Amino acid sequence: MNKKELNTKQVGDLFGVDESTVRRWSISGKIKCASSAGGHRKFSYYNIIQFSKKHGTKFKQKNDIDVLDSKQIIKKITNFTLNHDSSSIESIFIGLYLQGIQLSDLMDNYVETVLVNIQSKLNTKKISTAEEHIARKIISRSLNNFRESISNTQSKNNKNILCLNLENDIPDLPIDMIQILLENINYNVQNCGSHTSTENLKILLSKKEYEAIFIYLCDRQCCTSTVSDNIKKTNHDLNEIGKLAKKYKIKLFLGGPSFKNVDKENLKKYTRFTKYSEALSIVSN
């Protein structure tokens, strides 16, 4: 089940009720929905989950992953990743979401663990660098499709957050994951993606107001901003971003495991986090 929206019958199947019950929920405003061009009700996964939490209505339909433990699920995601099956990965993400798994737990305990597994296979030469790059693209595609499926279409809080990787960092999966988490709690999130230069950042900040900037420093094969050849520029860029943040009164957040080569004076300008769940708590403070 990886459609972006469900119809009345599909929602009824999820909760084990008939279509007329779902229609009554919709008419009374208990569960929110949109209308298609033909006037049919369409329900997002986000609104389905919100309804379930608010009214205590449990799902009756079982997912394929309900009988599996987390290790088995992670193994399935890893295998699907290496077999380039993004659709099955997306279905697992939605299944976990419908089970009530918190998005932060999904990122920390499932997606991140799969990425560690992929990196381990690369380190032990079980897969090539090209295969590792493709695997990351598959996970990225699955996450972006999942993001569309659970998108919070409710009004935002009018606070803008910018996510980015530094100029020598190519992968953008971690900031994609942060974007999903922050959007789910009503922030407007703009994602620069990878390889963001400080010069371009200056232009952007001069034109738009941001509440915070999230940067992630990874230590995997495809990340180069923390290696010895590039750490001087990384420290320079972090310092420049610190100056810009002070000028525009923007909060700075730095995530990831790779802080050991970052100048201590730079680190003082950033609130640091290592888990994705921490990104939610610190931005709310």
pLDDT averaged over 10-residue windows placed end to end, the chain, 285 residues: 79 93 95 86 90 86 79 96 94 89 94 93 93 92 90 76 81 87 91 87 95 85 60 90 96 87 91 91 80
Query: What does pTM read for this prediction?
Result: 0.85
- Count other Cβ atoms within 10 Å, centred on residue 225: 27
The reported pLDDT for the residue numbered 194 is: 78
Query: Domains plus CATH for the chain?
Result: 5-55 (1.10.1660.10), 64-149 (1.10.1240), 160-284 (3.40.50.280)
Three-class SS of residue 226?
Answer: coil
Q: CA Rg, the chain, in Å? A: 21
The reported pLDDT for the residue numbered 8 is: 95
DSSP summary character for residue 220: S
The reported pLDDT for the residue numbered 158 is: 82
DSSP summary character for residue 223: B
**CA distances in angstroms from 123 to 168, 236, 259, listed in the order given:** 21, 30, 21
